[in-house]
Structure 1
Amino acid sequence: MSQALQEEERDGAAVLDEPTVPVRAGWTTSLSLATLAVFMAFMTPIQILLPLQLQHIDPHGKSGALSLVTGLGALVAVVVNPLAGALSDRTTSRFGRRRPWVLGGALAGAAGLAVTAAQHSVAGVAVGWCLGQAGLNAMLAGVTTPIADRVPLSQRAQVSGWTGLMQSFGLVLGALITTLLVTGVWSGYGTLAVLTVVLALPFVLRHPEPALPRALRPAFDGRAFLRSFWVSPRLHPDFGWAWLTRFLINLGNALGTLYLFYFLSDAVHYGDPGTGVLILTVVYTLFAALTAIPVGRVSDRVGRRKSFVVLCSVVMAVAAVLLALEHTWPAALAAAAVLGAGYGVYLAVDQALVTQVLPQARDRAKDLGVINIANSGPQVLAPALAAPIIANLGGYTGLYLATALVTLLGGLLVRRVRGVA
């Protein structure tokens, strides 16, 4: 083997090493802005723009149309996110493995949002939203993995707290934009499309990352590539339990938030449900901010993750029970505060936990993409579960009781993870 090839492999191995050098505030800020972009583009349409657009297109079938569109989009996410992650792991660009996917995904996601805005049929909205989901999930693969790539364990929950908080802040900023700053569905989608690209640029342009040497990229074998997406829970039980925990907690979150707009309109009888969603999201995000960073610091300091996940699941289940029992505006405000406090803990600690159960360093983005199926998969399943629950099992009371049970079960199962404290 030539000396140049040996040096290239040694440098590549360093790319795959467990990180030990602390990241700086500027790096965390830029990654957080990119994360804000992707979740603002994800969640604002689901919470506000798609319900408004579909209500105008099909007033009588709005609930079924929303379930169809969001379910198909989530199905695209289930496929694209791990696929983009796997390709990211194999990327040998001189710009690094993650940044090309962040920028390319942002551009593709913005284009998908623009296509969605121009549609006037349920089928057209579904196609546009699926295109947007494909681009945004490629971007998500790029913004999720740098924490495992670059952040040492002593900082991981704290940095995860900042990036996780952007998920909630994305809802607030997106709701402010689409309810107060711009009017109309088209302008809302267009503004989100522009911001998705603009907010991704600081991380892409200001923070170079080491390239993966071509010598360390394995030869492509289609069958082996497809098999790699199955991570055996028998061989990697901690990964399996962490995946199931995340799936159940996110299923509970999806069940509880998918019909929030209609819950405020039909059960609470709030006069302006769009503004109501905004107010609840602000309360939710404020309380998430109060817990995410402090709890992340404590988790990093004591080196414990699982007990905090159990705690957050209990808190979130309490919020769901409150919504199940009281269909009033004050109860909704209180539930938003409790839910935000619990989810803030979850955002910080669970992401740190899953980065500690990844099977191989060279497959970090692919394995995190498989983990992220536990985020997008519930978006496919939740509409199929929520609609019959509302119709046949107690309406919104039944829906939120189911939310509490699923969330609590997810938190309890995290105790089966053995390799993380």
Structure 2
Amino acid sequence: MSTAGRVPATALPAALREPDRPVSPGWVARLSLNLVGMWIAWYAPLQVLLGLHAAALAPEGKELVFGVATAVGGLCSLVANPLVGALSDRTTSRWGRRVPWIVGGSLLAAAGFVLLSVASTVALYVAGWCVVQIGLNTMLGALTAFLPDQVPAVQRATVGGVVAMATTVGILAGTGLAAAFGTGRPTLAYLACAAVMLLCTVPHMARSGDARLPVQWRPAGGLRVILRGYWISPRRHPDFAWAWLSRLLINFGNGAGAVYLLFYLQDGVGYPDPAGGVLVLTTIYAALVVATAVLGGRLSDRTGRRRVFVVWSGTGIAAALFALGFQTWTAAVVGACLLGVSFGVYTSVDLALVTEVLPAAADRAKDLGIVTVTSTLAGVLTPLFAALLVTGPGGYPALYVGSGLLALAGAAAVTRIRGVR
């Protein structure tokens, strides 16, 4: 039974102690490679392969088939991430708390890709993607816990910036990998995703430094206790609640602003080559995220401040979305620049801020899983929110103003956090 809350910090086992030794560049590089492989496996299907596969299975109903697969996969994400986090927090294997779940998750995701590669019916297609999502969320829940487990607070935003870069690189590389296999049913592309993900996982698992949790320190309780732990009282942990709400609102606003970008350029801006325009704006955005993520994190670590960077970047995201409401190509480019700079800083510093308001060291992975749910919720709900605004009398200006207001509310929520500077 865990007694972490009732003993001096010096008496805690290494797995539950607050880290104070800086992690090495090699460790950060191995973690980043692991994340890049995971995001390649996540976004190559989501951006390209699942759509191609749906078109091959049901040419007349590809949108519905794709929508069902991604929606059911999203529900799997909502359940898997915090559940695996809670189980990871209770793992006492000799390989540590996180490594077994990352290895197991990668093998499960690989099995899902094999299933997708042979899926000739809609049912197998949906089932395969669900298995992949459960596997990848198992990996994600354990990988994100490495930050509060091993990275000291004074280094956390810098490492968070590298993590943000890895995410962007993984998304771009995943899209490139999918495109390299051309059109048609993507059998080989699915297998390539599995192979890349597994290869990128090996170096970090071999030298992760994951500390073992002694059996006597394992949190007490079974499934009922784990399920009760999904509720974290805002009254008892107000800083965590405000951080959760802030992340939900900013992700919601950012996602709603991006979901109809192709149609915005085509119908709102009247850009002659909307697909090419999306590529230009995405490239600008991604380049600036990569350029600013580590810089923003390093500045936050040097000054010891988190809230001001999250407020500034959240406000910048809102300004970028407001700019898109003008419906001109110039405004779209300005918006992409602002969004790239702001989101790069936001992703690095907000991750560090969240790790500093977690309620208990014994529940780090579970609590981070609850935070990650905000991204999944935003992904599931924003298409509906965006569709309601776009099809209403306000059209695209209403969508981008509404999205900007959500991001602004998310930035304001951070100011209510008291336990972090």
Counterpart position of 2:419: 419
Structure-2-length-normalised TM-score = 0.89
- Number of aligned residue pairs: 410
Residue 181 of structure 2 aligns with an amino acid whose one-letter code is V
Task: Give runs of aligned pairs for residues 109-128 of structure 1, distance below 5 A.
Answer: 109-119=109-119, 124-128=124-128
Residue 142 of structure 1 aligns with an amino acid whose one-letter code is A
Check whether the contact 2:317–2:339 (CA below 8 A) recurs between aligned residues. yes
Task: Give runs of aligned pairs for residues 1-150 of structure 1, distance below 5 A.
Answer: 13-54=13-54, 65-119=65-119, 124-150=124-150
Counterpart position of 2:351: 351
Task: Give runs of aligned pairs for residues 9-408 of structure 1, distance below 5 A.
Answer: 13-54=13-54, 65-119=65-119, 124-179=124-179, 181-184=180-183, 186=186, 187-261=188-262, 263=264, 271=273, 273=275, 277-326=278-327, 328=329, 331-408=331-408
Cα deviations by residue, 1:365-418 (Å, 9 ceiling, x for unpaired): 011111111121111212332333333354444333332121111111111111
- Partners of 1:405 and 1:322 lie apart in 2 by 12
State the 1:41 CA deviation.
2.4
Structure-1-length-normalised TM-score = 0.89
Check whether the contact 1:309–1:349 (CA below 8 A) recurs between aligned residues. yes
Residue 161 of structure 1 aligns with an amino acid whose one-letter code is G
Query: How has the CA–CA distance of structure 1 residues 335 and 49 changed in structure 2, closer, same or farther, with 3 Å as cutoff?
Result: farther
Query: How has the CA–CA distance of structure 1 residues 159 and 168 changed in structure 2, closer, same or farther, with 3 Å as cutoff?
Result: same
State the 1:75 CA deviation.
1.6
Check whether the contact 2:281–2:332 (CA below 8 A) recurs between aligned residues. yes
- Partners of 1:46 and 1:393 lie apart in 2 by 31
State the 1:128 CA deviation.
2.5
- Gaps of at least 5 residues in structure 1 are 1-8
Check whether the contact 2:285–2:339 (CA below 8 A) recurs between aligned residues. yes
State the 1:284 CA deviation.
1.4
- Partners of 1:42 and 1:129 lie apart in 2 by 10
- Gaps of at least 5 residues in structure 2 are 1-8
Query: How has the CA–CA distance of structure 1 residues 149 and 339 changed in structure 2, closer, same or farther, with 3 Å as cutoff?
Result: same
Greater CA drift, 20-29 or 115-124: 115-124
Check whether the contact 1:243–1:374 (CA below 8 A) recurs between aligned residues. yes
Residue 205 of structure 2 aligns with an amino acid whose one-letter code is V
Counterpart position of 1:6: none
Check whether the contact 2:44–2:177 (CA below 8 A) recurs between aligned residues. no
The alignment yields a C-alpha RMSD, in angstroms, of 2.6
Cα deviations by residue, 1:103-145 (Å, 9 ceiling, x for unpaired): 2112222332343454456555433322211110000011101
SS at match of 1:418: coil
Query: How has the CA–CA distance of structure 1 residues 258 and 58 changed in structure 2, closer, same or farther, with 3 Å as cutoff?
Result: farther
Query: How has the CA–CA distance of structure 1 residues 270 and 215 changed in structure 2, closer, same or farther, with 3 Å as cutoff?
Result: farther
SS at match of 1:14: coil
Greater CA drift, 237-246 or 34-43: 34-43
